Amino acid sequence: MKSGVEHPWQRKFLGYTVCNREYKRPFTRAKNLMRLGLDEKRAWNSAQTGWASWQNAGTSDLNQALPKKLFDRFGLVSLMGYYHQLIRFT
């Protein structure tokens, strides 16, 4: 089974959880986005958008701050890979 987050929905959900649900205030969100590798201007623009949390989770800023390699490093299991493995054995 492949490791990592392959499906875009999984990445969007994790971005939503990490950057929008945990960090409620824009200052905290911007500070942590800068810590994840975004430059200061993009972090502040992303943190202070008026968008809903789920809309903000699919932006290119969060895709840059939370790349697929990060999820691979955590050893997260791909649901699509697991699904295809189950289909193959049934």
Residue 89 lies inside a defined structural domain of this protein = no
Domain count within the chain: 1
Residue 73 carries which side chain, given as an amino acid letter? R
Residue 40 lies inside a defined structural domain of this protein = yes
DSSP 25: S
All residues at 6 or more sequence positions from 63 whose CB lies less than 8 Å from its CB, including other chains: 11, 15
Residue 3 carries which side chain, given as an amino acid letter? S
- The model's pTM is 0.62
pLDDT digits (tens, 9 = 90+) for 38-86: 899 998 988 888 777 767 777 778 778 877 777 777 777 777 777 888 8
Residue 22 lies inside a defined structural domain of this protein = yes
Structural domain that includes position 47: 8-67
Say what the pLDDT of residue 1 is.
45
